[in-house]
Amino acid sequence: MPLAIKVNFDIVNCLLKHFGKAITIADMAMIAKNITKEVCRTLGLFLDGESGVKIDHNVVKAAAGNSESGKKVMTLLLEKRGADIVITEEVVEAAAGNRDSGAQVMALLPEKRGADVVITQEVVKAAAGNWYSGAQVIALLLEKRGADVVITQEVVKAAAGNKVSGKQVMALLLKKRGVDVVITQEVVKAATGNGRSGE
């Protein structure tokens, strides 16, 4: 990540004015993934229409996966470039797997882009395997989109293998959707291989 992005809004503003057209989509994806709350204002510079900076699927996916300030970055992207933002399965999966701000991003996406947010097995699996905010993301999915949440063997395996919040995720799945949770040999294998949360 360029030092200017972490350090100083004014420096980035100056660089953008002179070199804005040279910023690539890969640069923007890196910025969206790593920008922190303190310099989120900087991202606004890149998103102003005059900058000429392109936003593609990789940038949106990186923003959804930004652990520290994913909600702020996604909000900014949707506000400044809403027409350019496509919410794909990969974007929703990145949000569901976002370790620190997954629940906030997953709450924001349906609020801002309701019908565009499709809950697939891969999304539920990413949430179930999310070490730090998996329980919150699963709870949100079950509460807000319960009919769309299919509990497959892969989802149960992801929860059983989740080394940090697996116990909470599994308890939530059993409490809310116990009839859908099938304990197979693969699930038992994932749980027994989980030395931290597989009790």
Q: What is the DSSP string of 23-91?
A: --HHHHHHHHHH--GGGHHHHHHHHSGGG-----HHHHHHHHT-TTTHHHHHHHHHHHHGGG----HHH
Domain termination residue (choose one: 86, 107, 122): 86
pLDDT band at 25 (very low <50, low <70, confident <90, very high): confident
In the structure encoding, which two tokens stand for residue 88, read together?
A: 């794909």
Q: What local confidence, expressed as pLDDT, does residue 37 receive?
A: 60
73-103: per-residue pLDDT in tens? 899 999 999 988 999 999 999 999 999 999 9
* φ, ψ dihedrals at 66, nearest 5°: -65, 110
Residues 110 and 20 in one domain: no
Taking residues 123-148, report their average pLDDT.
97
- Whether the pTM exceeds 0.75: the reply is yes
Q: What local confidence, expressed as pLDDT, does residue 1 receive?
A: 41
Could you tell me the residue range of the domain that residue 60 belongs to?
1-86
Say if residue 166's pLDDT is above 50.
Answer: yes
Residues 41 and 114 in one domain: no
56-71: per-residue pLDDT in tens? 999 899 999 999 889 9
Which residue's structure tokens are 């565009």?
Answer: 116
Residues 79 and 93 in one domain: no
Residues 75 and 93 in one domain: no
Say if residue 10's pLDDT is above 50.
Answer: yes
Number of structural domains, the chain? Answer: 2
Say if residue 5's pLDDT is above 60.
Answer: no
Residues 77 and 93 in one domain: no
Residues 100 and 82 in one domain: no
Domain termination residue (choose one: 57, 86, 115): 86
